[in-house]
């Protein structure tokens, strides 16, 4: 898959025209590209990703709250988690062909970075953050609504991805005792552009499950999934 540099075409796809095109370029700049260029003109998208993650959680919470007046807090939390998780974000990103426009370092691109869920989902969060800074809350909300409405409907119908972390938290905290749930990275293997993460989940210091993934988020979800399977066997 080749890198697409037609940002005018991309803005037509997302139905949003940037006032500051620099914000869009920043949102599309992966750290591998910024490190490769090693100049102040290219900043990676991690700060925008941080902002986009926060505003996406806020606006998706608002959509769920206003659209489901009879839904309880626990179900709303699980619903939101399934919407903002990595697989859902990557799916939404692919619908707007975001992966084609991300600026990657040569090594990252050659090893399949353009198809990696972690990179694509992070870029979508960065794009959301960029739209928020460029056009304000309403512009960001309009974009999220167009991009995520089908996913929200699928999540309500139970047809979207399971968020194992939320399920584990609900089960362990529902036992009536105070619990401390933690995810810790045991080790990382592989080169910087193609790492594998090994994570364990602990509850009050007891290791409950372990997971492996190409991103920390994926490894944590797999650790939570293994924990759920273990808890099911204990019943």
What is the CATH architecture of 164-234? 2-Layer Sandwich (3.30)
The pLDDT score that the predictor gives to residue 108 is 87
106-149: pLDDT as tens digits: 888 888 888 888 899 999 999 999 999 999 999 999 999 888 87
The yes-or-no answer on residue 125 being catalytic is: yes
The pLDDT score that the predictor gives to residue 15 is 94
CATH of domain 7-156: 1.10.1520.10
Q: Which residues contact 210 (CB under 8 A, 6 or more apart)?
A: 186, 198, 199, 200, 201, 223, 226
Are residues 150 and 159 in contact, defined by beta-carbon separation less than 8 angstroms? no
Catalytic residue among 53, 108, 117, 218: 53
Burial of 66 (0-12, 13-18, 19+ CB in 10 A): exposed
Domain boundaries, the chain: 7-156, 164-234
Note the pTM of the prediction, 2 decimals: 0.71
- Cα gap 205→216, rounded to integer Å: 20
5-24: pLDDT as tens digits: 999 999 999 999 999 999 99
The answer to whether 7-156 and 164-234 have equal CATH topology is no
Nearest to 172 by CA among 87, 230, 86: 230
Catalytic residue among 108, 125, 218, 220: 125
The yes-or-no answer on residue 53 being catalytic is: yes
**29 beta partners:** 103
Parts of the chain with a pLDDT under 50: none
């Amino acid at each position: 898959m080749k890198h697409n540099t037609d940002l005018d075409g991309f803005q037509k796809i997302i139905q949003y025209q940037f006032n500051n095109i620099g914000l869009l370029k920043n949102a599309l700049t992966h750290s591998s590209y910024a490190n490769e260029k090693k100049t102040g003109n290219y900043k990676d998208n991690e700060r925008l990703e941080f902002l986009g993650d926060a505003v996406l959680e806020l606006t998706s919470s608002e959509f769920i709250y206003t659209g489901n007046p009879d839904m309880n807090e626990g179900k709303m939390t699980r619903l939101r988690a399934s919407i903002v998780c990595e697989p859902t974000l990557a799916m939404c990103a692919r619908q707007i062909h975001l992966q084609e426009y991300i600026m990657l370092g040569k090594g990252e691109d050659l090893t399949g970075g353009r198809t990696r869920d972690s990179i694509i989902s992070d870029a979508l969060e960065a794009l959301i953050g960029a739209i928020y800074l460029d056009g304000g809350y309403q512009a960001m909300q309009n974009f999220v609504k167009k991009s995520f409405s089908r996913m929200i409907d699928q999540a309500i119908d139970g047809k979207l991805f399971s968020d194992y972390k939320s399920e584990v938290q609900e089960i362990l905290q529902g036992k009536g005792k105070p619990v401390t749930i933690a995810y810790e990275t045991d080790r990382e293997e592989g080169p910087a552009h193609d790492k594998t993460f090994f994570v364990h989940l602990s509850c009050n210091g007891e290791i409950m499950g372990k997971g492996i993934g190409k991103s920390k988020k994926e490894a944590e979800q797999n650790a939570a999934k293994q924990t759920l399977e273990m808890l099911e066997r204990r019943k």
